[in-house]
């Protein structure tokens, strides 16, 4: 991914920093759009990466936004995303966030409990409006990804248990200021087993028929996001296999002509376009382990510490033969480790290290633990 000309330019920059390949992002979005069926539309999960340059590309390609906080809605609007292209999810929306979303006339609020629905009804009454909502359902399907990023199983805090749907529909019928227009699922993230999505289609088909029989006019079916990316060998799948993913829905999903099918992809859109660059500060051998200590840590990329995530790591300054290293950050936490027993070209102090596939849930999750400063981001079209 990084030719020698680009590497030379990157070597001059102060590490650590994020680098985004906007050409790759553009190609990824084009490939995504080519794979869509007529009723499908994409709402980019902005929590994966909210950098303005990335939102601009999303907007230029006319994708919508899936926001999970008032500030994400606000940032989308400030970056010229139209309100009717924004949906709002989240298990704990505050009253202020709901008021903001309603006043800004966003497309749909995805609700996760009856308490939330009734608060939206009350606020809508006070504002003298009717608000379009969808209900997020918990389909109890195992996404077979890391336990912290599963969101659609019985023990998850997200969504409403399908068994409670009938009861909630009865209560919704009595509310005067909301319109139930959709239903929503999101199973989890980094899902590699596409069979999981065909199970989701079966559940959706049942719910769709059920709601039709109950005389609800459902116009929006939201199937969430979650498509995984190749962290082990990013260069083999720089652009995720969107065709196979949508093929599952094409084959299995039943919907009516007036229904719009939402997909809320985050990671699979932006993940491979971002990389975290870092330099080697020190090397040391301890109890037969070779440690490489780099200047980036869990404050810049928390996924390895939080989810045991494995990212592909390269030394761009060395082409010596590979040896086994533990690659660790500088923070005072043992979990601040990027890889254990990892084969990397024989390294020395000052070498430039790249941690690949860091475009999603990387920079957005950075913190200032140990009082570390937020690092810079550079973009492929700005380096000269
Ligand atoms: C995080 C999230 C997504 C995006 O998940 P990815 O794995 O990044 O595709 C979609 N929908 C909701 C409701 C989310 O919370």
Backbone φ and ψ of 337, nearest 5°:
-130, 125
Is residue 356 within 8 A of residue 316, CB to CB? The reply is no
Helix, strand and coil in the chain, % to nearest 5: 35, 25, 40
The residue written with tokens 């195992």 in the block is 142
Q: How is residue 264 written in tokens?
A: 């809320």
What angle, rounded to 10 degrees, do the helices at 95-103 and 114-127 form?
Answer: 50
In sequence order, the β-bridge partners of residue 342 are 325
Please tell me the predicted confidence (pLDDT) of residue 155: 84
Q: What are the pLDDT digits (tens) for 186-224?
A: 999 999 999 999 999 999 999 999 999 999 999 999 999
Please tell me the predicted confidence (pLDDT) of residue 154: 80
Domain ranges of the chain: 23-270, 272-382
Which residues does ligand 1 sit against, CB inside 6 Å? 45, 47-48, 66, 68, 89, 186, 189, 224-227, 264-268, 360
SS3 of residue 182 by DSSP? strand
Q: How many CB atoms lie within 10 A of CB 320?
A: 12
β-strands 64-67, 40-45: how paired?
parallel
* Minimum-distance ligand 1 atom for the alpha carbon of 48: 8
* CA of residue 176 to ligand 1 center, whole Å: 30
Is residue 314 within 8 A of residue 357, CB to CB? The reply is no
Topology of 272-382 in CATH?
Lyase, Ornithine Decarboxylase; Chain A, domain 1 (2.40.37)
The residue written with tokens 């301890």 in the block is 286
d(CA 259, CA 134) in angstroms, rounded, equals: 13
d(CA 99, CA 80) in angstroms, rounded, equals: 20
d(CA 107, CA 98) in angstroms, rounded, equals: 13
Please tell me the predicted confidence (pLDDT) of residue 384: 64
d(CA 202, CA 350) in angstroms, rounded, equals: 53
Please tell me the predicted confidence (pLDDT) of residue 306: 95
Please tell me the predicted confidence (pLDDT) of residue 229: 98
β-strands 337-345, 322-328: how paired?
antiparallel
Q: Which residues in the chain come in under a pLDDT of 70?
A: 384
Is residue 121 within 8 A of residue 111, CB to CB? The reply is no
Choose among 325, 341, 335: nearest CA to 293.
325
> CA angle 81-83-89, nearest 5°?
100
* CA of residue 15 to ligand 1 center, whole Å: 30
Q: What is the four-CA torsion angle of 272, 276, 277, 279, rounded to 10 degrees?
A: -140
* CA of residue 66 to ligand 1 center, whole Å: 8
Question: What is the DSSP code string of 194-253?
Answer: THHHHHHHHHHHHHHHHHHHTT----EEE----B---SSSGGGGSS--HHHHHHHHHHH-
SS3 of residue 323 by DSSP? strand
d(CA 178, CA 196) in angstroms, rounded, equals: 32
* Minimum-distance ligand 1 atom for the alpha carbon of 267: 8
Is residue 136 within 8 A of residue 158, CB to CB? The reply is yes
Q: Which CATH class is domain 23-270?
A: alpha beta
SS3 of residue 297 by DSSP? coil
Name every residue whose Cβ is closer than 8 Å to that of residue 143 and which is 6 or more positions away in sequence.
Answer: 149, 150, 151, 152, 153, 187, 188, 189, 191, 196, 226
pTM of model > 0.75: yes
Please tell me the predicted confidence (pLDDT) of residue 249: 98
Which of 28, 32, 45, 261 to mutate to test ligand 1, by most ligand atoms within 8 A of the CB atom? 45
User: How would you classify residue 167: left for phi > 0, otherwise alpha for psi between -120 and 50, otherwise beta?
Assistant: alpha
* Minimum-distance ligand 1 atom for the alpha carbon of 264: 10
* CA of residue 229 to ligand 1 center, whole Å: 13
């Amino acid at each position: 991914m990084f030719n020698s000309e680009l590497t030379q330019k990157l070597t001059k920059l102060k590490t650590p920093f994020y680098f985004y390949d906007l050409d790759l992002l553009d190609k990824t979005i084009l490939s995504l759009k080519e794979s869509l069926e007529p009723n499908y539309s994409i709402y980019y999960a902005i929590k994966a990466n909210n950098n303005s340059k990335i939102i601009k590309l999303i907007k230029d390609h006319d994708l919508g936004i899936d926001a999970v906080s008032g500030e994400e809605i606000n940032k989308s609007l400030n970056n010229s995303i139209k309100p009717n292209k924004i949906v709002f999810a989240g298990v704990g929306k505050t009253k202020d966030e709901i008021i903001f979303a309603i006043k800004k006339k966003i497309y749909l609020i995805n609700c996760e409990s009856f308490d939330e629905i009734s608060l939206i009804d009350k606020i809508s009454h006070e504002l003298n409006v009717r608000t379009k909502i969808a209900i997020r359902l918990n389909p109890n399907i195992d996404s077979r990804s890391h336990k912290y990023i599963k969101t659609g199983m019985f023990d998850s805090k997200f969504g409403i248990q399908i068994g409670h749907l009938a009861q909630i529909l009865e209560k919704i019928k009595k509310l005067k200021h909301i319109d139930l227009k959709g239903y929503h699922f999101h199973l989890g993230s980094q899902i590699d087993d596409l069979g999981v999505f065909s199970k989701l289609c079966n559940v959706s088909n049942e719910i769709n028929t059920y709601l039709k029989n109950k005389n609800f006019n459902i116009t929006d079916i939201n199937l969430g996001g979650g498509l995984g990316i190749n962290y082990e060998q990013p260069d083999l799948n720089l652009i995720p296999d969107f065709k196979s993913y949508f093929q599952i829905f094409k084959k299995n999903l039943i919907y009516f002509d007036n229904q719009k099918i939402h997909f809320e992809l985050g990671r699979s859109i932006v993940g491979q376009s971002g990389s975290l660059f870092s330099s080697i500060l020190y090397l040391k051998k301890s109890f037969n382990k070779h440690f490489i200590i780099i200047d980036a840590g869990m404050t810049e990329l928390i996924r390895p510490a939080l989810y045991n995530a494995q990212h592909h790591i390269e030394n761009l300054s060395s082409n010596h033969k590979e040896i086994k290293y533990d690659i660790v950050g500088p923070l005072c936490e043992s979990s601040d480790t990027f890889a254990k027993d990892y084969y990397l070209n024989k390294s020395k102090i000052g070498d430039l290290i790249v941690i690949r596939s860091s475009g999603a849930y990387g920079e957005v999750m950075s913190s200032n633990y140990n009082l570390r400063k937020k690092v810079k981001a550079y973009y492929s079209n700005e380096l000269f």
